[in-house]
Structure 1
Amino acid sequence: MDTDTTRRALLAAVVGSAAAGGSLAPVRGYLDRFAPFTGRAWGDATDPTDRRVESPYGAADVRYDEYGTPHVSADRERALYFAVGYVQAADRLFQMDLQRRVMTGRLSEVVGEATVDSDEFHVRMDFAGGAEANLELLEGTETGRAVEAYAEGVNAHIERESLPVEFGLLDYEPDPWSPADTMLMESQIAWSLTGSFRTLERELIASELGPEAVAELYPARLDHDAPIIRDGTGGDRLAGRPVEPRGEFADADLLRWLSSFESPRGVGSNSWVVSGEFTASGRPLVANDPHLALSAPPVWYEMDLRTDDLDVRGVTFPGVPFVVIGENDAGAWGFTNSGADVIDFYTYETDDAGERYRYRGEWRGFETDEQTIRVADGPDRTVTVRKTVHGPVIEREGREVGVAWTGHTATATSRAIRGYNRSDGIEEFLAATRRMDLPTQNVVYADREGNSLYYVTGRIPRRTIDGEQVRGTRVFDGSAGEAEWEGFEPFGVSSWEGFVPFEEKPHVVDPDYLGTANQRIADDPDHYIGEAYSSPYRGQRLYELLDRRAASDEPMDAEFMRRIQRDTYSKRAEQVVGDLVAAAEGREGLEAPVGTLRDWDCRMDRDSRGALVFSRWFDRFREEAFADAFERAGLGERYYPNDWVLATLPADIRWFGEGGREAAMVRALRAAVADLDDGATYGDHNTTAAITHPFDQSFLNYPAYATDGSAYTLNNFRAESAVGSSWRMVCPIARDAESVCILPGGNSGDYFSEHYDDQLRLWADGEYKPMGRDPGGEVDVRFDPSEGENR
């Protein structure tokens, strides 16, 4: 077989779709035609790293600790970030390059025909244009200069060192890294957290299943009592006038294509902050574990950075020089996704030639740009990128929709993250938060002076029709200027004047304690923020544990925080398992599973039979309720409502079919137990085998360790989708206390490194390692000032 053709088939399968935070779709069955331990691949992977490197920005030292975390110190900031670029490239260059190719629509020039669809979407969305706008906003700033130094460090590694093994296997080389590429990584992160076609899906469901189905299965507000901000108002208002889907945008083919490029379902996180009033030390505590797609190597990269006026440690995304989640000498912070609605869709009246669109009573020409998608071993494709006053127009085979997304304008997010790294207390942290335009997140913070904070970050649109604020829950009439965002300038610099003011975004200063788990932010918000919040199970459990401890005589401490992160109790199971047992009691052939569930403690533990029975049953229960109706409408599983909705549907509602809810429960239990092996436990299925390298080959994949947790427990892991706690961090803010953390894998992306998977067993077992400890010892890589040093 033609080796070059096979190589392209491999890469096409690797990058056919992208997941949150930079992980890539698995590939199976291709690498058996390669000899990975011979020839160029072996040489690329095993050549030693140079110990001394010239730097145009001055001296810097790198020491690696026992877990492969680089501790980088320098006299000046740009010397620091040059070294950071070098060490990130050493550990994660292939990951960085592949993500860059996805976002710029440049896969097919290496892969061939298989990735033209992906390239077309990313070219039409023009993520690269948004990144260029970001870079222009940074020009002349210290943040911009730091990003430039970082890019030079990456390129120094590319020029001096051998490439990672993946480049040898795939036989291509990376282009030089640019500051715009770092901005592109920020866009990729933001899209993975906020890019959603939910509005289009609701329109399609309204068309295929009727408006009643939308009202029943996709309520604007989930009826629970655990919002993030518990202010005791008892309100039941969702801000903004509802604008229900009209079922007019019902293009299933276009939506099916678009949906393969949106942020993955179920991405979430936990975080909480506790004031010193409730802690043993009298100082605050901060905990965070973001739930993102899990892969080898991990989505996060840990580092510890120091200059004379900077001391920060934590994790960043490969390709980004600054610590995104972590702590400095003043305080600690963490993020969870806020669920804010920062994307809208528009239809337009166009002329017969498709060259103009009507906007507010006049015809305007589309802004157009001809882009060429290079295709290896095939004809290149020319794509006409079209834009309106709102943003890009996504089109495919004559079907189109306009898109407005806050990531398509210049944002100050890089300056905000650098500000977090350098902040010296709550006032400076707040000032940095004001600058964070995207993504929309829940940030928690506490400092060593005892201050604490919760704030929703990011720019949140205010939409109006006839002067009244509305929700962003349907496709709008772009020709009429319906619900457009005042002060938004796509691919330019926005004034943001029509967006929710910073002071009016949900926030709490100095809460006693506050927990976020992607649930509804507030019962009675001043503005429409969004409605695509997660099921409340994790949020309920988090507040249950915090409330219980606060009401006791026992103070909270770091060990208690770690126990919360490891908690496996399922509020989803608590909600329905009693009804299931009652429905199945006495049914012939179900005696054993009913007994197992009756005695089960609702904990999703690896050695539990009950956890396995319940998880398989709920999957079947979901199918019993929705599979037939949705399949008849041509809709797949991705359109099913969330599990809270299913668990709270009335017993006699049409979705349960003959016999109602109880009969559907019993049918699902029979189907589930028929597939279970005798003696099997939850850990037989819930293993780290789900966390794979993009190539999904045994020599590159992580070991399979049984672990605990589920999608709906605080200890979060979903073997079926390889999503879960991508970083666990607990920071006691007391000066003499040690922060701890863990990655689901290792800090190095080099398969031959001892740090490729050295944290995986610890992660699977709910253990931790110290964060940011000075390793001491000899310098591993020294950066020497070069002649003509650039200050």
Structure 2
Amino acid sequence: MRFIPLILTIALVAALHTRWANKPAFGMLFSPQHGFWQHAEPVGLHDDQHLNFPTLKGRSEVWLDERMVPHIFAEQESDAYFIQGYLHARDRLWQMELQTMAAAGRLCEILGPGMLDYDRRQRRIGMVYAAEQTVKEMEKDTATNMQADAYTAGINAYIRSLRPRDYPLEYKLLGYGPEPWNKLKTALLLKYMSYDLAYNNNDLEYTNARHLFSKADFDRMYPDFTDSLDPIIPQGTAFPPPAAPAIPPPDSLLAAAYHFAPDHPDPDNGSNNWAVAGSKTRSGAPIICNDPHLGLSLPSLWYEMQIHTPNMNVYGVSLPGAPGIIIGFNDHMGWAVTNGSEDVLDYYSMQFRNGKEEYLFNGAYRKADLRLEKIKIRGGKTFVDTVAYTVWGPVMYDDSYKGPGFLSVRWKAHDASNELLTFNRLNHARNYEDYLEAIATYTCPAQNFIYAGKDGNIGIWHNGQYPKRWKDQGKFVMPGADSTFAWQGYIPFEENPHIYNPAEGFVSSANQHPTDSTYPYHMIGEYDLFRGKRINQQLRGMHGITPEDMMKLQNDNTNLFAVTAIPLIMDHLDPVNFKTDAQRKCMQWLFAWDGEANPDSEAATVFNMLWEELENQVWTDDLVRDSLALKIPQSKTMLLWLLRDTAMHFVDNIHTPEKETLSQLVQRSFDSVAQRISHMGNNVALGTARGTDIRHLTRSIPAFSRMGLPTGGGQHIVNATKKTHGPSWRMVVELGTETKAYGIYPGGQSGNPGSAFYDNMVDDWVDGKYYSLNIYDQQSQPAHLRGKIFFEPGE
């Protein structure tokens, strides 16, 4: 019997070091010497560190402030990027590698065969191909080549210092280890952002809809411009005529029935940004503000830091995996970005023969470039996918992947570009002219770049390389055998929508349409409306503005969409139909509501559920047909249409003999919501019924997540917080003689769940609080540092 404990111990050790059904081996995870308890970090002060690396050219220091934000002071700029890479890897290595593996379609290597469809999609989008083109452009430019090389060297220096026991916890949990970094991984991260922000397209859905509905109905369902327009560039701005407008070929709408829809990023991936001139502020200095709206996760997308060299002193947030500061400010100016929301991706229907060998183009067959995508699968055989490249780009869909037929994709993100150069120049910019030189190099994803400087100037450019298209080009699948359907160049940079020092004293964007209909080029996209209107309404009425006023506006919970919609709803509800307590209670909440979507608002929950149900009542019978890929019109489109015409014919259900009215649909929707509310008990308030979940990047470890956060805000609201999506970084900067800056993001600097700085900012973010951003000068050391790291040349 005394041998039984020994046998059980041996069996347990063997089991923990064995993979079962493609699950990771847990021996490393639970090992006392190497496992998860090695990752607990002290909360107090850190002893100073002295690190030596032969690639460094000078002496550098890193100061770690009370939130563990690093402040880099380097004599040589290349050393600063080496240190940035080292620090990113030290705090976020697993996140960096996971994001680039996701971009490259390599998740099967660590997660098994369940990710095969995802990996195939990423390969067929051409993510690695696009990143390869970016690396070539990075290497052509002296500044970005130095930046990427030094940054890569810093990451690899940290990786080489690790023993298996030191690996971030997720590596142990999943049973693998880090691999060396390279510039392709940085390029993949940048292209992943392009996917997240510039993969907006509805070509398949719109092609199906155009065959089902008349052109008049189609244009009403998916309009280029809406009522109540409040564009980025004010209405009435005079635009010069285009030098060379796009010329359409003869109409040739393809007959098609697409029974699958491409995967789409979150349609609310966007942001708010604005800048107010000194004429509107209490201090007389411009104030610039930004809050990008993206998926929320732990570790956070962003990493805060200051980089100080003899030629640059810049502060803001960086992307772990890429050098430099992406959103921020320096000693002279600040910049802020929001998504342009344009569709820069088109599908072309191809005719192939001999399998994937040849395709028809301009009357002759051409050889396709065949790219073998070898997808390694953990616990299984490597899957080889053959992707054909045409003059347009990769064949995304064919008979082996969601076909039938062949659809090639033309995506702006595939073109050679160097996004790193734009941000490198912004980090160094001193004035508006430098800012223009920086953004002129930017191509994709389309962004609204705001400038505010200590020179007192403000401006905004709706910026990127936009295809020159004829009206409606890009909405539908086009014939790929005819070159006349190609983009006809790009809108010249100087003709991109922009405004400088406007009379109103502010510039702003919130993913709304960039211009009114007088702009001479055709841009297509899915634009917001009500966030921008609310921001502009508030800024127009504000004077003597302070940073605190801007913080309040970033956290504004007024649902202008709901304020517009509720009178319409009330007109079509008859209290005589309210038979239950739940119905009467819901009506009472809506009637008394001021439109503020605060965490304690029951009315906000009722309205959100009611509008969603009403949309389903209006559109489901028309847009759910034999599994066809179709798209429900945007909420703003339906609301504005119903305000114009309550008898719009889509209100009628085509599957019933009677002719439904809007009053019937509103009442049915209300009754359905009231019944659901009756089962929710005391959990109706927005912060409880919806709340916000900030999930760990694996999406499957609640202990590493922050779930059920009591948040307000939502879609159409300046505070665009949703269930798993929202303001990923809030920044307010007053650019006076002394810069005063404030910011917060929902996470922490560390990617280690065992660190006190993993999620230390989350609760304050929920409460709408901000931290002062410490802009240190090496000549005056602050009193409250957690530690210093000294980097010096040498072995």
Q: TM-score, normalised by structure 2?
A: 0.88
Aligned residues: percent identity? 27
**Pairs within 5 Å for 1:1-20:** 8=22
CA deviations on 1:528-571 (whole Å, 9 max, x unpaired) are 3533232301011111111122xxxx422211111111111111
DSSP 3-state at the match of 2:706: coil
- d(CA) in 1 for partners of 2:694, 2:248: 40
Cα distance, 1:303 vs. partner? 1.1
- d(CA) in 1 for partners of 2:437, 2:572: 56
**Pairs within 5 Å for 1:604-619:** 604-619=597-612
Residue 675 of structure 2 corresponds to which residue in structure 1?
674
Residue 187 of structure 1 corresponds to which residue in structure 2?
191
CA deviations on 1:719-766 (whole Å, 9 max, x unpaired) are 1xx111111111111122411011012222111111111111111111
Evaluate the alpha carbon distance shift between residue 580 and residue 447 of structure 1 in structure 2; reply closer, same or farther with a 3 A threshold.
Answer: same
Residue 581 of structure 1, aligned match among 570, 591, 609: 570
Contact 1:204 1:252 in 2 (8 A): no
Evaluate the alpha carbon distance shift between residue 781 and residue 321 of structure 1 in structure 2; reply closer, same or farther with a 3 A threshold.
Answer: same
- d(CA) in 1 for partners of 2:176, 2:420: 30
Contact 1:419 1:432 in 2 (8 A): yes
- d(CA) in 2 for partners of 1:453, 1:485: 29
Evaluate the alpha carbon distance shift between residue 47 and residue 292 of structure 1 in structure 2; reply closer, same or farther with a 3 A threshold.
Answer: closer
Evaluate the alpha carbon distance shift between residue 119 and residue 609 of structure 1 in structure 2; reply closer, same or farther with a 3 A threshold.
Answer: closer
Deviates more, 1:96-105 or 1:672-681: 672-681
CA deviations on 1:647-678 (whole Å, 9 max, x unpaired) are 12332223323532222111111111211234
Evaluate the alpha carbon distance shift between residue 285 and residue 478 of structure 1 in structure 2; reply closer, same or farther with a 3 A threshold.
Answer: same
**Pairs within 5 Å for 1:480-491:** 480-485=482-487
Partner letter of residue 500 of structure 1?
A: I
Q: Say yes or no: does 1:42 pair with 2:27.
A: no
Partner letter of residue 157 of structure 2?
A: A
Residue 427 of structure 2 corresponds to which residue in structure 1?
421
Evaluate the alpha carbon distance shift between residue 527 and residue 392 of structure 1 in structure 2; reply closer, same or farther with a 3 A threshold.
Answer: farther
Q: Say yes or no: does 1:374 pair with 2:364.
A: no
- d(CA) in 2 for partners of 1:483, 1:772: 53
DSSP 3-state at the match of 1:282: coil
**Pairs within 5 Å for 1:118-197:** 118-139=118-139, 141-161=142-162, 162-197=166-201
Residue 248 of structure 1 corresponds to which residue in structure 2?
255
CA deviations on 1:21-61 (whole Å, 9 max, x unpaired) are xxxxxxxxxx9x99769663315534899933223123322
CA root-mean-square deviation: 2.8
Residue 302 of structure 1 corresponds to which residue in structure 2?
304
Cα distance, 1:611 vs. partner? 1.4
- d(CA) in 1 for partners of 2:455, 2:770: 26
Q: Say yes or no: does 1:431 pair with 2:430.
A: no
Contact 1:75 1:307 in 2 (8 A): yes
Residue 740 of structure 2 corresponds to which residue in structure 1?
738
Q: Say yes or no: does 1:602 pair with 2:592.
A: no
Q: Say yes or no: does 1:506 pair with 2:497.
A: yes
- Runs (4 or more) in structure 1 with deviation over 6 Å come to 33-37, 47-50, 237-245
**Pairs within 5 Å for 1:264-663:** 264-398=266-400, 399=403, 400-463=406-469, 471-485=473-487, 498-511=489-502, 512-549=505-542, 554-586=543-575, 587-589=577-579, 590-634=583-627, 639-649=631-641, 650-657=645-652, 658-663=659-664
Counting matched residue pairs gives 739
- d(CA) in 1 for partners of 2:21, 2:323: 32
CA deviations on 1:672-731 (whole Å, 9 max, x unpaired) are 121123443222124233544424323211254312111111011111xx1111111111
DSSP 3-state at the match of 2:192: helix
DSSP 3-state at the match of 1:472: coil
Contact 1:203 1:245 in 2 (8 A): no
Cα distance, 1:204 vs. partner? 2.7
- d(CA) in 2 for partners of 1:265, 1:633: 25
- d(CA) in 1 for partners of 2:788, 2:751: 18
DSSP 3-state at the match of 1:169: helix
- d(CA) in 2 for partners of 1:410, 1:452: 30
CA deviations on 1:596-640 (whole Å, 9 max, x unpaired) are 21111011011122112212211211222223433344258x822
Contact 1:291 1:724 in 2 (8 A): yes
Residue 57 of structure 1 corresponds to which residue in structure 2?
56
- d(CA) in 2 for partners of 1:421, 1:169: 38
- d(CA) in 2 for partners of 1:593, 1:353: 60
Evaluate the alpha carbon distance shift between residue 286 and residue 4 of structure 1 in structure 2; reply closer, same or farther with a 3 A threshold.
Answer: farther
Deviates more, 1:661-670 or 1:351-360: 351-360
Contact 1:691 1:702 in 2 (8 A): yes
Partner letter of residue 531 of structure 1?
A: I
Cα distance, 1:173 vs. partner? 0.8
- d(CA) in 1 for partners of 2:174, 2:394: 33
Residue 495 of structure 1 corresponds to which residue in structure 2?
none
Evaluate the alpha carbon distance shift between residue 125 and residue 442 of structure 1 in structure 2; reply closer, same or farther with a 3 A threshold.
Answer: same
DSSP 3-state at the match of 1:148: helix
Contact 2:273 2:510 in 1 (8 A): yes
- d(CA) in 2 for partners of 1:207, 1:9: 47
CA deviations on 1:407-452 (whole Å, 9 max, x unpaired) are 1121121111100001111111110011112221001111101111
DSSP 3-state at the match of 2:594: coil
Residue 114 of structure 2 corresponds to which residue in structure 1?
114
Contact 1:535 1:642 in 2 (8 A): no
Contact 1:341 1:529 in 2 (8 A): no
Evaluate the alpha carbon distance shift between residue 477 and residue 659 of structure 1 in structure 2; reply closer, same or farther with a 3 A threshold.
Answer: closer
